[in-house]
Amino acid sequence: MKRILSVIIAVSVLLAAYPVFACTTTLTGKKASADGSVMVSHSDDGLGDGRLIYVPAMDHKKGSMRPVYYDACALGYKPEWGASETQRLVTKERGPGYDTPGVPLSVPIGYIPQVEHTYAYFDANYGIMNEHQLSIGECTDKAKVEPEPAPGKRIFYSSELSRVALERCKKAKDAVKLMGALIDKYGYYGTGETLLVADPEEGWVFEMCGYDAEGTGGVWVAKRVPDDSFFVAANQFRIREVKKGARDMMFSADIFDIAKKKGWWNPSDGPLDWAKVYGDGEFHHPYYSLRRVWRAQSLVAPSKNLPAWVEGAFTKKYPFAVKPDQKLSVEDVFRIHRDNYEGTEFDLTKGLAAGPFNDPNRFEGRAESVAGSEEPLSTVKGAFERPLNIYRCVYAYVNQSRKWLPDAVGGLTWFGPDRPATAVLMPFYAGVNNLPEPIQKGDILKFEKDSMWTAFNYVANYAMLKYGFMIKDIHAVRDHFEMQSFGRQKQLEQNAAELIDDKRDAEARKLLTGYCEDNADNVLKAWWKLSEDLYIKYNDGYLNTSAGIAQSVFYPAWWLKKVGYENGPLTYKRNSGEK
């Protein structure tokens, strides 16, 4: 009996300490982008399911019901809801990509009425983009209350909300209204969340959370991003004052009444501050969120000279959105996600923690990577800076929605598997008939040569052996493919658009699908070849090339001094510092 009780306790502790998808997401308005597109980006920063899945358009029988599934992103994997720790969703109802033999079927937490036709879209841990250029990004936030799922009371989390929106909506504003209505009617569970929702004309920030551990419903607020501005969120609510009658805002009808009832806000306090009233500050420790907001805004608008140090979690030093000093490209936006604070006082490629070879990766030792548990993993209290580029990222992307092109061509997801700094941006058009098989395959507990995620994760991990050297080799291959994609983009899109103008839609989709598949296939082959080249070139800590085998690559002097290299053994006498 004691053994059984011990197992139950151990399992309970394990499930309580759930992995967090602590992400960074940005939105660039059409007048802030270099080409007039509305851009949404997202890095999914939790070691989980890294697949990009194609969900086809479908027709449904009148009166049928749509299942709503539990999302492990919300509160961790729960076996009672099916699927697995590495495969987020298992069902035949959303196309071949989610039909995974040998994995338990996902169990619906509830149902909503289905519509007769649903749109095709790209899906990952959250919905990404549909065939009508509706685009979504996400980050997790800390809310005062984070309820458990409950059939009939709380059936929606942001992941399934984003998918329903992509299945049914063409415009960002309509998607916000739909998701808000679903929260109001069917309830909300899990962490606080930010979803960025955009179409070719505009972008909205949609934030939500639960408010009662046992009750139903949820609360939400949305704010439009100015067309000439750039927005960033990093695991903390970013909407502040909720203003009645504001044309650039939407919110749940009971947002004020609930705040008063809970004792979180009184009208005499002034306008309801959403982040303060319903949020619970930064995700883990000071600057876990704010440093990334500061860095992203500083990179796009350095002229603002934003302060790196502020008075507290609810500072107003960082505006809701900033106007970039120069209009932003896809490369500019993804460069933000690749950042390790290089060139700042927080530069993670410098110092003893970076080791002798400038490794910016900092493994988390307390509760940064695990929510629901504050149990320390070390007796040493402290924290590293939390970068925009983090080692446990499973994918990142930049979406473009472009009004001057047909939807099939104008909607474009630039997808990078694994962490941004070592990923290649690969283009996938909204009008493709399917996605390449390697991008739809991946399991963090399996080594799969035909998985794009495995290839990129393998190289990224190997690079940590001698990061400052290997990253240059990685970037050389990365830059080749990205420059090639950007260089071919204009002609490809012109050809596809002309086919659509000639009413040859099927040919255009075939053209786009073939291009994306060929590019992905070439990237996968090149990345495994890169892994072999890195192994040979840096074998046994040397530099091995045709110019010479076992060329010595020694440690830098500053690092040798820091780690006590000078303390010997240089003589046969005991050093004064040794015991």
Question: pLDDT in tens for each of the 579 residues of the chain?
Answer: 444 334 333 333 333 344 556 899 999 999 999 999 999 999 999 889 999 999 999 999 999 999 999 999 999 999 999 999 999 999 999 999 999 999 999 999 999 999 999 999 999 999 999 999 999 999 999 999 999 999 989 999 999 999 999 999 999 999 999 999 999 999 999 999 999 999 999 999 999 999 999 989 899 999 999 999 999 999 999 999 999 999 999 999 999 999 999 999 999 999 999 999 999 999 888 999 999 999 999 999 999 999 999 999 999 999 999 999 999 999 999 999 999 999 999 999 999 999 999 999 999 875 555 555 556 667 788 889 999 999 999 999 999 999 999 999 999 999 999 999 999 999 999 999 999 999 999 999 999 999 999 999 999 999 999 999 999 999 999 999 999 999 999 999 999 999 999 999 999 999 999 999 999 999 999 999 999 999 999 999 999 999 999 999 999 999 999 999 998 888 888 876 555
Position 18, amino acid: Y
Domain-embedded: residue 496: no
Dihedral of CA 85/450/508/28: which sign? positive
Distance, in Å, from the CA atom of 243 to the CA atom of 250, rounded to the nearest integer, reads: 9
The phi, psi pair for 260, rounded to 5°, reads -70, -45
Residue 226: asked if its preceding bond is cis (omega within 30°), the reply is: no
For residue 6, the model assigns a pLDDT of 40
Position 354, amino acid: A
Angle, CA of 286, 383 and 462, to the nearest 5°: 125
CB 240, CB 207: distance < 8 Å: no
Distance, in Å, from the CA atom of 113 to the CA atom of 260, rounded to the nearest integer, reads: 33
The phi, psi pair for 429, rounded to 5°, reads -85, 145
Angle, helices 330-337 vs 467-501, to 10°: value is 150
String of DSSP letters for 471-533:
HHHHHHHHHHHHHHHHHHHHHHHHHHHHHHHTT-HHHHHHHHHHHHHHHHHHHHHHHHHHHHH
For residue 368, the model assigns a pLDDT of 59
Distance, in Å, from the CA atom of 334 to the CA atom of 329, rounded to the nearest integer, reads: 9
For residue 4, the model assigns a pLDDT of 39
Among candidates 453, 251, 268, 418, which has minimal Cα distance to 337? 418
Domain-embedded: residue 233: yes
Beta-carbon contacts of 293 under 8 Å, excluding residues fewer than 6 positions away, are 232, 233, 234, 236, 238, 318
Domain-embedded: residue 369: no
CB 442, CB 453: distance < 8 Å: yes
For residue 578, the model assigns a pLDDT of 57
Token output for 143: 């809310």
- Residue 362 bridge partners (DSSP): none
For residue 152, the model assigns a pLDDT of 87
The phi, psi pair for 479, rounded to 5°, reads -65, -35
The end-to-end CA distance of the chain, in Å, is 49
Domain-embedded: residue 35: yes
Residue labelled with tokens 């449904």: 60
Distance, in Å, from the CA atom of 301 to the CA atom of 281, rounded to the nearest integer, reads: 25
Taking CB atoms within 8 Å and a gap of at least 24, the contacts of 9-17 are: 13/373, 15/76, 15/77, 15/78, 16/372, 16/373, 17/76, 17/370, 17/371, 17/372, 17/373, 17/375
CB 255, CB 192: distance < 8 Å: no
Distance, in Å, from the CA atom of 207 to the CA atom of 139, rounded to the nearest integer, reads: 10
String of DSSP letters for 131-147:
TT--EEEEEEE-BSB-P
For 310-331, the pLDDT digits (tens) are 999 999 999 999 999 999 999 9
- Eight-class DSSP state of 423: -
For 248-272, the pLDDT digits (tens) are 999 999 999 999 999 999 999 999 9
240 is in which domain, residue-wise? 24-280
CB 222, CB 251: distance < 8 Å: yes
Domain-embedded: residue 570: no
Q: How many residues make up the chain in this entry? A: 579
Quick one: residue 200, left, alpha or beta (phi over 0 = left, psi -120 to 50 = alpha)? alpha
For residue 2, the model assigns a pLDDT of 44
Total tally of structural domains belonging to the chain: 1
CB 39, CB 27: distance < 8 Å: yes
For residue 373, the model assigns a pLDDT of 52
Domain-embedded: residue 517: no
What three-state secondary structure class fits 558?
helix
Residue labelled with tokens 């619970």: 280
CB 159, CB 73: distance < 8 Å: yes
For residue 1, the model assigns a pLDDT of 41
Domain-embedded: residue 182: yes
Distance, in Å, from the CA atom of 78 to the CA atom of 150, rounded to the nearest integer, reads: 13
Position 52, amino acid: L
Among candidates 139, 23, 115, 37, which has minimal Cα distance to 430? 37
For residue 366, the model assigns a pLDDT of 58
Calculate the alpha carbon distances from 34 to 203, 204, 274 in Å.
Answer: 16, 20, 32
For residue 184, the model assigns a pLDDT of 97
Domain-embedded: residue 70: yes
For residue 9, the model assigns a pLDDT of 35
Residue labelled with tokens 């001094």: 561
Position 405, amino acid: L
String of DSSP letters for 244-271:
TT-TTEEE-TTHHHHHHHTTS--GGG-S
